[in-house]
Amino acid sequence: VILPPSLPYHLDTSHIDETLRLATEERASDFAAAIQKLRKIYHTSIKPMEQAYKYNELRQHEISDGEITSKPMVLFLGPWSVGKSSMINYLLGLHDSPYQLYTGAEPTTSEFTVIMHGEKIRSVEGIVMAADSSRSFSPLEKFGQNFLEKLIGIEMPHKLLERVTFVDTPGIIENRKQQERGYPFNDVCQWFIDRADLIFVVFDPTKLDVGLELEMLFKQLKGRESQIRIILNKADNLATQDLMRVYGALFWSLAPLINVTEPPRVYVSSFWPYDYAPDTSRELFKREEISLLEDLNQVIENRMENKIAFIRQHGIRVRIHGLLVDRYVQTFKEKMSFFSDPELVFQEIVDDPDKFYIFKSILAKTNVSKFDLPNRDAYRDFFGINPIANFKPLSAQCSYIGGCLLDKIEKAITTELPALLSSINSGKQPGLSSCEATGCGEKPKNRYRKN
């Protein structure tokens, strides 16, 4: 919301720099060495199986080099005019500068705006961002030209942006149909949600409107609860008693949408450069703001650990997919006879995999959790596009020089990635000699996630 310049600023915003430790220099060489080691593990041990068994056609999540080397992403979601853009302006100190994100009482942000670090201030068109393979946004091309016209990047030199990237999104308007936007809004949101390290869902306490589009958004956030932070912004617009009622009403509205035992953390404050309204809970708002900044700082400090944990989780899914495809191939070969019709035999296997113990045999013979198994129906669609004859069994995926695909991915999951995580946590140069801190074969702990 644009306010007249007569409104007083906060007397001091130095707490932002202090809490985020922007004055401290980072050991860029150590970080770069760890990233290079992570890239090497991914390309030599995980990607070969990914390509051999066409994993990207099952999950449609291709990991590019840009994604491995990218900074943590903080995503701002929520209804229109709740203060998402104002909050970014505040964190970056852009208020009253020519470069501030436009704000207003009406719906103002119609684009997905990516605010990232650059040597000078400039805007980057969506088509340029998608065409640049060194960035992590090239997969966005699949959403079409209409969307790329609604994607904009802003580069600027800023200490915070050296460590994190902000994404501002169009506000949710409950009476607008998705097709009116001209591109698949929910699919684009899902793409950013899948890659975000921290998701701020922002609300205005004076207009809590939980409708169909917001319900759809929370369905998309399922499984990402540990990354979600709910922000009750503009909190100084209400008296303390009214604020407590709104806080309760917000949880009541969101309870059916967030199906977890531990609700997301809620921050209550006013995130903009102006002083809080008189006779409001100033001390509470300031403490809440510092807590949110500490939360953001945790994501920045743990970005390498989170990246390693993400690649390891991806490797586990690729391994499970490879084992399942291998099992389908073996079952097909066992059931085929000289007089069999290949299409009918395989159709029977795909329609009822439980009859042939496809999934149960994976659980029995490998250390795979039943909670990590993909949906059975997904493989009906997968094999509808990719004939079974296109795949070799895992036993045939070995070479004298390169070794076996399964051995390499299992070594990455149980030894190499935990060892890299161990070296990061102990402050050593990354190497693959030790996995004492995490235990080879245990899942490395992602310290950013809530326990």
Q: Answer yes or no: do 342 and 268 share one domain.
A: no
Q: Is 446 inside a domain boundary?
A: no
Q: Are residues 38 and 140 in the same domain?
A: no
Same domain, 212 and 319: no
Burial 7-19 (b: 16+ CB within 10 A, else e): eeebeeeeebeeb
Distance CA 347, CA 240 (A): 63
Any domain includes 134: yes
Radius of gyration of the chain (CA): 24
Q: What pLDDT is recorded for position 450?
A: 46
**Domain presence at residue 445:** no
The pLDDT, as a whole number, for residue 26 is 65
**230 and 319: one domain?**
no
Same domain, 76 and 46: no
- Asked if 393 and 246 sit in the same domain, the reply is no
pLDDT at 178: 52
User: Which CATH number do you get for residue 307?
Assistant: 1.10.268.20
* Among candidate residues 286, 299, 201, the one with its CA nearest the CA of residue 251: 201
Over the stretch 11-61, which tens digit does the pLDDT of each residue have?
567 888 888 888 887 666 678 889 999 999 999 999 999 999 999 888 767
Q: pTM to 2 decimals?
A: 0.78
Looking at the structure, tell me whether residues 245 and 118 fall in a common domain.
Answer: yes
Tell me what pLDDT residue 259 has.
Answer: 64
Rounded CA separation 397/123 (Å): 46
Residues in the chain: 451
254 and 138 housed in the same domain: yes
Q: Say if residue 209 is in the same domain as residue 313.
A: no
DSSP for residue 42: I
User: Is 144 part of a structural domain of the chain?
Assistant: yes
pLDDT of amino acid 122 = 93
Looking at the structure, tell me whether residues 128 and 178 fall in a common domain. Answer: yes
Residues of the chain with pLDDT under 70: 1-12, 26-29, 60, 104-109, 173-180, 209-210, 256-257, 259-261, 427-451
- Same domain for 224 and 322, yes or no, is no
Tell whether 135 is covered by a domain.
yes
Of the residues 265, 280, 295, the one at which a domain ends: 280
What is the distance between the alpha carbons of residues 72 and 87, in angstroms, rounded to a whole number?
18
Q: Which domain holds residue 339?
A: 24-53+303-424
Helix extents (H) in 261-357: 282-301, 303-335, 342-351
Taking phi first (over 0 means left), then psi (-120 to 50 degrees means alpha), and beta for anything else, what does residue 112 get?
A: beta
**What pLDDT is stored for residue 246 in this prediction?**
84
The verdict on residue 239 lying in a domain is yes
Beta strands at 228-232 and 112-117: parallel, antiparallel or unpaired: unpaired
Query: In this predicted structure, what is the pLDDT of residue 437?
Result: 37
Q: CATH no. for residue 196?
A: 3.40.50.300
Q: Which residues contact 11 (CB under 8 A, 6 or more apart)?
A: 275
Q: How many domains does the chain divide into?
A: 2
Q: Is residue 58 part of a domain?
A: no
Same-domain pairing of 44 and 80:
no
